[in-house]
Structure formats: structure tokens, C-alpha cells
């Protein structure tokens, strides 16, 4: 598996991949979970799929198998604008904290239990965040993932009680980004090497950190 980093800086190189990515989200988030109304395009896209989003898209032999979206909490985001009631203990609003949403594995690639794909992908999310200076990730999370986080040994900050979202138990939570979190997840995935691929122009997730690094150089 390769996990491609796609954002506004290089998305012109990934037009077909992004189309396949949004099509892969449709049967999961529209048909399976019912989060959005059906549409004739058969793609799942919301208002946060914009120029500020960063996607990590896992593929094998050119076929999308997994993916997720990271979004800066310094901007209005899903938790702050739509689910603030789920987070009475606070809502992140920092350039170094990313909202982590729309994580999925295409049904044909789902393994039983907490197998390699989940470890490889979650470890790669942590790896990307470490590279970009992101300190925490999170937002509205499906409680079905809680056992996985415990197995990874991740530090989880619950920001409120469990709530029902379209019939599913969800919770507002953030996870600390650490080398240990990355390594534990990758070990669960049975790998020690990087799966991240970056093509084309580089765009930093945390522009403020990039500006500081540039001034110091």
C-alpha cells in the first residue's frame, strides 16, 4: 500500500484519484451510515472538502482502499460548527491541531479485528502529523474505534460524553501526536518503513510553522 498526501498544492496531479476517493466515501458515509442525502454523482463531498483540506489516500495497484481527511481547527470545522454540543470541555482552535474525519477502509479490503491495514494507515497519519508539526488530531469520532486506540496505546482526551449521531455512538476526542503513537500503530500494521508518498509541489499543513522555519533558515 502507498499512502498519498494530497492537498491544494498538488491536487491538480490527483484529479482521478480524488474522484475515486470521493466515490469510495459514498457507499460508506451515504449508503451505509446515512450521513448525507443520496446524489446522482455517487460522490460524498461536504463543505470541508475545500482548499484547506489535506487528504491521506491509501491505494494498491492504483485502487483506493482507504483514506481520511485532516482539516485545520484554526478555521471553522465540523466539530466547531455542527457538533459543539458534544464537546462541553472545549473545542480545539489551533494551527497545530487538526480535525481528523472521514476515515474509512473500502469494504472489500476490511479485515477482521484490528489488522494490518488499520495499523499501517493510523501509523501513517501519525507520521504525517509529526512531519508537519501537528500536535493533536481529533474531532467527532465513532466509538467503534475506541478499542483500536487502546491497543495502539494512544493518549486520548475525551471532550464530552458519548452521543448518538445518526444512530451511531460517537464522542468528541483528540489524540496526542507522538513518535510512540506512530511506532505502536505501525508495529500493529506489521511494518517499520514509511508508506507516505508526496508528489508535486509541497504545501505545509501548519503555515505558521513553515513561516517561522523559513525566517530561521
Query: Which pLDDT tens digit goes with each residue over 38-82?
Result: 999 999 999 999 999 999 999 999 999 999 999 999 999 999 999
Q: What global pTM score does this model have?
A: 0.93
Predicted pLDDT of residue 148: 86
End-to-end CA distance of the chain: 35
**Of residues 110 and 187, which shows the higher confidence score?**
187
How far apart are the C-alpha atoms of 66 and 60, rounded to whole Å?
A: 10
Q: Which of 75-79, 82-86, 189-193, 194-198 has the lowest mean pLDDT?
A: 189-193
> 493518549: which residue's cell?
155
- Cβ burial of 69 (10 Å; 0-12, 13-18, 19+) is buried
Is 3.50.50.60 the CATH number for 2-196? no
Q: What is the pLDDT of residue 181?
A: 96
Q: Give the DSSP H/E element, type plus range, for residue 122.
A: helix 116-132
In the predicted structure, residue 112 carries a pLDDT above the cut 90: no
Residue identified by cell 487538526 is 98
Per-residue confidence (pLDDT) for residue 217, from 0 to 100: 47
Cα 131–chain centre separation: 15
Domain boundary assignment for the chain: 2-196
Q: How confident is the model at residue 147 (pLDDT cuts 50, 70, 90)?
A: confident
Amino acid at each position: 500500500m502507498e499512502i498519498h498526501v494530497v492537498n491544494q498544492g498538488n491536487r491538480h496531479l490527483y484529479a482521478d484519484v480524488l474522484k475515486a476517493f470521493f466515490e469510495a466515501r459514498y457507499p460508506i458515509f451515504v449508503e451505509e451510515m446515512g450521513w448525507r442525502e443520496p446524489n446522482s454523482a455517487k460522490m460524498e463531498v461536504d463543505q470541508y472538502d475545500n482548499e484547506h483540506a489535506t487528504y491521506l489516500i491509501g491505494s494498491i495497484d492504483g485502487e483506493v482502499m482507504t483514506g481520511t481527511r485532516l482539516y485545520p481547527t484554526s478555521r471553522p470545522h465540523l466539530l466547531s460548527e455542527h457538533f459543539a454540543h458534544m464537546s462541553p470541555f472545549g473545542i480545539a482552535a489551533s494551527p497545530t491541531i487538526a480535525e481528523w474525519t472521514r476515515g474509512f477502509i473500502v469494504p472489500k479490503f476490511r479485515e477482521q479485528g484490528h489488522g494490518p491495514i488499520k495499523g499501517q494507515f493510523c501509523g501513517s497519519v501519525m507520521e504525517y502529523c509529526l512531519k508537519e508539526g501537528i500536535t493533536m488530531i481529533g474531532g467527532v469520532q465513532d466509538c467503534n474505534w475506541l478499542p483500536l486506540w487502546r491497543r495502539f496505546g494512544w493518549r486520548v482526551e475525551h471532550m464530552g460524553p458519548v452521543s448518538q449521531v445518526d444512530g451511531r455512538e460517537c464522542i468528541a476526542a483528540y489524540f496526542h501526536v507522538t513518535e510512540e503513537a506512530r511506532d505502536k500503530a505501525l508495529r500493529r500494521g506489521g511494518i517499520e518503513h514509511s508508506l507516505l508518498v508526496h508528489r508535486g509541489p509541497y504545501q505545509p499543513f501548519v503555515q505558521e510553522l513553515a513561516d517561522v522555519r523559513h525566517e530561521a533558515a
